[in-house]
């Protein structure tokens, strides 16, 4: 049984992920190490992640990001050609997805200038197939109209807000993936949501919970856009 404790290394995570059929080249592993180092370095200057999380980057930030990657991979959806990571912050899950799926174009969007400066540095340093937009999604809805097959969002907003903001930029049958706690149903107060969008909760797999209880009581919420 895998279990992450305080300050475990990336090698423990990649061993676990290989057991979940997520394979890595040496280059991708090195990209993860470099990314982690950049987070630690820049976090001394700007608030990328909580100081209490700085020694738990693997289990509290990388692992949830890889849960997005795992879900995308297990769907075996070859039609996903581009992904928008909304409110990317320090770049999760977007940077992790760019490392995992170099053939997919990733757009990282955040309104914080300092955080977009950081993710631009990461994209450049790791030579990723990704672009960075420093703006609010509302200001980009026309420019990005019907552009994306998939949007991801981690700890960004409520489900109704995500749907409202991302509806214009997704193609028909485009999807939103977000990670929510066990009380996610409290956000579904608008009766129209179920008719306009197909919403499906996916619990975290037991193997992942054995690796770290940080994902306990978490659900991947998939929302599919049913009309333009």
The DSSP string of the chain is -----TT--HHHHHHHHHHTT----HHHHHHHHHHHHHHHHHHTTS-SS-GGGTT-HIIIIIHHHHHHHHHHHHTT-TT--EEEEET-TTTTTHHHHHHH-TTSEEEEEES-HHHHHHHHHHHHHHT-SEEEEES-HHHHTTTTTT-EEEEEEESSS-HHHHHHHHGGGEEEEEEEEEEEETTGGGG---TTHHHHEEEEEEEPPHHHHHH-GGGTTEEEEEEEE---
Could you identify the residue written with the tokens 């394979």?
A: 23
Please tell me the predicted confidence (pLDDT) of residue 52: 79
Q: What are phi and psi of 175, to 5 degrees?
A: -130, 155
Convert the pLDDT of each residue in 118-174 to its tens digit: 999 999 999 999 999 999 999 999 999 999 999 999 988 899 899 999 999 999 999
CA atoms within 13 A of residue 100's CA, in its CB half-sphere: 24
Please tell me the predicted confidence (pLDDT) of residue 2: 40
Please tell me the predicted confidence (pLDDT) of residue 54: 83
Could you tell me the sign of the dihedral formed by the alpha carbons of 136, 176, 202, 193, in that order? positive
More confident residue, 54 or 6: 54
| Rounded average pLDDT over 80-96 | 95
Convert the pLDDT of each residue in 19-66 to its tens digit: 999 989 999 999 999 999 999 999 999 989 888 788 889 999 999 999
Distance CA 37, CA 35 (A): 5
| Number of residues that make up the chain | 228
Q: Are 196 and 170 in contact (CB under 8 A)?
A: no
Tell me the fold of 10-225.
Rossmann fold (3.40.50)
Q: Which two tokens stand for residue 138?
A: 């509302």
Q: Are 107 and 82 in contact (CB under 8 A)?
A: yes
Convert the pLDDT of each residue in 95-125 to its tens digit: 999 999 999 999 999 999 999 999 999 999 9
Please tell me the predicted confidence (pLDDT) of residue 192: 52
The pTM assigned to this predicted structure is 0.92
Convert the pLDDT of each residue in 205-225 to its tens digit: 999 999 988 899 999 999 999
Alpha carbon 133 to chain centroid distance?
16
pLDDT tier, 9 (very low <50, low <70, confident <90, very high otherwise): confident
- In angstroms, what is the C-alpha Rg of the chain? 17
Torsion of CA 132, 134, 136, 141, to 10 degrees: -50
10 Å Cβ neighbour count for 6?
8
Distance CA 152, CA 84 (A): 6
Please tell me the predicted confidence (pLDDT) of residue 119: 98
pLDDT tier, 190 (very low <50, low <70, confident <90, very high otherwise): low
């Amino acid at each position: 049984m895998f279990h992450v404790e305080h300050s475990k290394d990336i090698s423990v995570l990649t061993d676990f992920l290989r057991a979940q059929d997520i394979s890595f080249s040496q280059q991708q592993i090195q990209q993860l190490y470099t990314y982690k180092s950049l987070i630690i370095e820049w976090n001394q200057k700007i608030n990328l992640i909580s100081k209490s999380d700085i020694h738990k980057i693997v289990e509290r930030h990388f692992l949830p990001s890889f849960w997005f990657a795992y879900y995308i991979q297990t769907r075996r959806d070859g039609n996903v050609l581009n992904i928008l990571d909304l409110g990317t912050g320090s770049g999760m899950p977007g940077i992790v997805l760019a490392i995992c799926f170099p053939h997919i174009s990733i757009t990282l969007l955040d309104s914080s200038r300092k955080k977009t400066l950081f993710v631009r540095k990461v994209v450049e340093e790791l030579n990723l197939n990704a672009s960075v937009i420093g703006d609010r999604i509302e200001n980009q809805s026309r420019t990005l109209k019907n552009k994306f097959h998939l949007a991801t969002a981690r700890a960004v907003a409520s489900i109704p807000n995500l749907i409202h903001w991302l509806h214009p930029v997704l193609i028909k049958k485009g999807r939103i993936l977000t990670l929510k706690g066990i009380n996610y149903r409290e956000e579904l107060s608008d009766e129209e949501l179920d008719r306009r969008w197909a919403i499906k909760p996916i619990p975290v797999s037991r193997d992942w919970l054995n690796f770290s209880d940080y994902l306990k009581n978490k659900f991947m919420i998939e929302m599919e856009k049913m009309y333009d």
